Amino acid sequence: MSEIVLEGGVPLRGSVGVLGAKNAVLQQMISTLICPGWHRLSNVPDIADVRALMEVMEHLGVRCDLADKELAMVVPERMSVEAPLELVRSMRASILLLGPLLTRFGEAKVPLPGGDDLGARPVDMHLNGLRQMGAELELVHGVLVGRAPRGLEGTEVELPFPSVGATQNLMMAAVMARGDSAIINAAREPEIEDLGVQLEKMGARLSGVGSPIIRIVGTRNLRPAAHRVMSDRIAAGTYAMAGAITGGEVTITGCEPAHLRMELTKLEAAGCEVERGEGWLRVAGPHRPEAVDFATLPYPGFHTDLHPQMVAVLSVATGTSVITENLYDGRFRYVGELARMGADIYTEWQHAIVRGVESLSGCPVMATDIRAGAALVIAGLVADGVTSIGGVEHIDRGYADLVHDLSGLGARIRRQDMNNDDRTRLFGW
């Protein structure tokens, strides 16, 4: 099995570019289903989740071609409405197929995504919203079978929590529904706005996207569109934190600093110098970070997908930080692995107390999800000696080439097939 192997101790310096956001492109691939024809997405990262969704789309009958960051999709007039279990099992975003398929074809069969590496992750808000729009949904042997023989009806849906996915599912469903819809307490993430822009290019009539109340006037007068996917704020934040922990200076291009307002404020509080420009940002790390408290919250709060990376930075801070995780009960799974590297972290319920230590020491660790993997890499950048990170397939879901990008900044990092002899050589085990 391939692992990421790195030797810590090099301050990162230089410039790194980021591409389109995983959490925007997946939804934008799915939204093409509402309208037949030739759609194009640009700035598309070649990550495992995009490839997996391409397979799902192809199974439905969509022709997909990804080359040189351009994804062309030809959506046919007639297509399958059944998503294949083996392809969607590992991808939670597949629940988003329900809205577009139901609104356009009046039927859909999508296996219910189970829990994943971040915990239970229910989909009740997606289902309740679609039911309010007139869909009949039942769970048959693990598959959500949806019917709306007379199409979906525009209505007002109030979300109990501003769920990103439920907001997106209902936006895509409402665009083609009969009459007017409103999503109250909608999520305000930049990825929602970017989906709104793409849908508008397709002829959808939306207002208030990016605010807590989105209004949509249903229309069947839609056309295919070309759209550039917004930049990946989580990748940009990951590289900022990688630069910060090493005390180096990293410039990140192709990003939107305004999308990282809270996270950059916290990096500044930790002693980093941050410069922001149009489409770029520069982070210079301190000799040693200072402790900072933060709580993850929906946008514009601190993003849960940058929580593990920030904790890696704070694990070597000069004091004690208090972290509150408000989104996922499984988010702290990386803590045990950071502890093996010498981090002093105590977790209780949704809180972590991070007592900064002077140094970490490299050892074999295992990534349990995408961002946990990124956090372990960040910790490895300052750890004494060698760190090897297994579970690289998680990291590949969200980062096109983390190893290449970090080695471009000077990190001593490589990808390597590891066996027990290699481990004995590296760690004396």
The residues of the shown chain that bind ligand UD1, judged by CB under 6 A, are 23, 26, 92-93, 121-126, 161, 163-166, 187, 304-305, 327-328
**Nearer of residues 194 and 305 to ligand UD1, judged by Cβ:** 305
Q: Between 291 and 295, name the residue whose CB sits nearer to ligand UD1.
A: 295
CB 305 → ligand UD1: shortest distance, Å? 5
Q: How far is the CB of 147 from ligand UD1 (least distance, A)?
A: 20
Dihedral sign computed on CA atoms, order 84, 87, 90, 94:
negative
The single residue of 46, 65, 68, 116 carrying the catalytic annotation is 116
The nearest distance, CB 26 to ligand UD1, in angstroms, is 5
CB 335 within 8 A of CB 375: no
Smallest gap from residue 165 Cβ to ligand UD1 (A): 3
> 22 vs 215, which CB is nearer to ligand UD1?
22
The residue to which tokens 């990291």 are assigned: 395
Give one word for 210, left, alpha or beta, with left for phi > 0 and alpha for psi -120 to 50.
left
Query: Using the 8-state DSSP alphabet, how is residue 203 labeled?
Result: T
The token pair that represents 161 in the structure block: 């929590």
353 bridge partner residues: 322, 346
Exposed e or buried b for every residue in 391-428, given b needs 16+ CB within 10 A?
A: bbebbbbbbbebbebbbebbbebebeebeeeeeeebee
At its nearest, how many Å lie between ligand UD1 and the CB of residue 28?
11
> Can you say whether residue 366 is alpha, beta or left, with left for phi > 0 and alpha for psi between -120 and 50 degrees?
beta
| Residue 18 near residue 235 (C-beta atoms within 8 A) | yes
**Is-contact 283 306, C-beta < 8 A?**
no
Q: Measured from the CB atom, is 12 or 209 closer to ligand UD1? A: 209
Quick one: 28 or 246, whose CB is closer to ligand UD1?
28
> How far apart are CB 311 and ligand UD1 at their closest, in Å?
15
Nearer of residues 93 and 272 to ligand UD1, judged by Cβ: 93
CB-count burial class (<10 Å; 0-12, 13-18, 19+) for 141: exposed
State the nearest-atom distance from the C-beta of 139 to ligand UD1, in Å.
14
Which contacts (CB < 8 Å, 24+ apart) does range 76-79 have? 76/36, 77/36, 79/33
Residue 321 — φ and ψ, nearest 5°?
A: -110, 150
Closer by beta carbon to ligand UD1, 5 or else 137: 137
Dihedral angle over CA of 346, 350, 356, 359, nearest 10: 70
Q: Is 384 a catalytic residue?
A: no
- Residues annotated as catalytic are 116
